[in-house]
Amino acid sequence: MQIDPSYLPKLRDYYAKHHVIPSYAAMGKLWGIAAKSWVANCVGRLKEEGYLKVAPDKRLGPGRRFFERALASSKVAAGFPSPAIEDLHDTITIDEYLVRHPSQTVLVTVKGDSMIDAGIHPGDVVVVEKRNAAQPGEIVVATIDNDFTIKTLAKEGGRFVLKPANKAYPVLRPKELEIFGVVVGCFRKYR
């Protein structure tokens, strides 16, 4: 059975607005289908393909593929224009791309502009893998005097220092340095 390609996007939009998967009756209205058996067949197909799942309390919920987004096989030129992208072949989820250890991963909103030359701007959200060790060159979230900061870990004369990515800020040379975690990704919302 082939389901209408607009059904999943409509379901995703509903979920984004209401944070629940609608009832079968509400799905019928959403999709413009009157027959409950047809809605049940569509839901069955979405479950088979991993977009929906049944929770222990028998409610429908998002499946492992529900949050997948299309990933173009072509890259976008940041320099000179290139032909338009129409080849959406692969899919990806943000968790799959940025999160290796969900139980050790937190999202942190950036305050300040000390890392702006590394592409990390105020208001960005960084994906931080919590661990207490890091390698020089990695961007870390560290604690100094009970305050959190995000900087690049470096070594000077055998000691660890924290380097900003903005010339307006000094290198931090703490007597005691505690690594909270390593930044593994960053994202921002433009609107």
Active site residue 82: no
Q: Is the dihedral of CA 57, 58, 64, 70 positive or negative?
A: negative
What is the DSSP track for 131-147?
A: -S---TT-EEEEEETTE
Give 137-182 pLDDT, tens digit per residue: 999 999 988 889 999 999 998 899 999 999 999 999 998 889 999 9
Question: What CATH number labels 7-62?
Answer: 1.10.10
Give the pLDDT of residue 50: 92
Which residues of the chain have a pLDDT value below 50?
none
Give the pLDDT of residue 93: 75
Under 8 Å between Cβ of 179 and 140 = yes
Indicate which residue of 6, 53, 74, 151 is catalytic: 151
Give the pLDDT of residue 1: 58
Indicate which residue of 114, 155, 163, 175 is catalytic: 114
Q: pTM of the prediction? A: 0.64
Please list, in sequence order, all residues whose beta carbon lies within 8 angstroms of the beta carbon of residue 168, skipping any fewer than 6 positions away.
113, 114
In this structure, which CATH number among 3.40.50.970, 2.60.40.10, 2.40.10.120, 2.10.109.10 belongs to the domain 102-187? Answer: 2.10.109.10
Active site residue 23: no
**Residue keyed to tokens 């950036």:** 110
Q: Where are the domains of the chain?
A: 7-62, 69-98, 102-187
Give the pLDDT of residue 10: 92
Residue 15: exposure state from Cβ atoms within 10 A (0-12, 13-18, ≥19): middle
Give the pLDDT of residue 104: 87
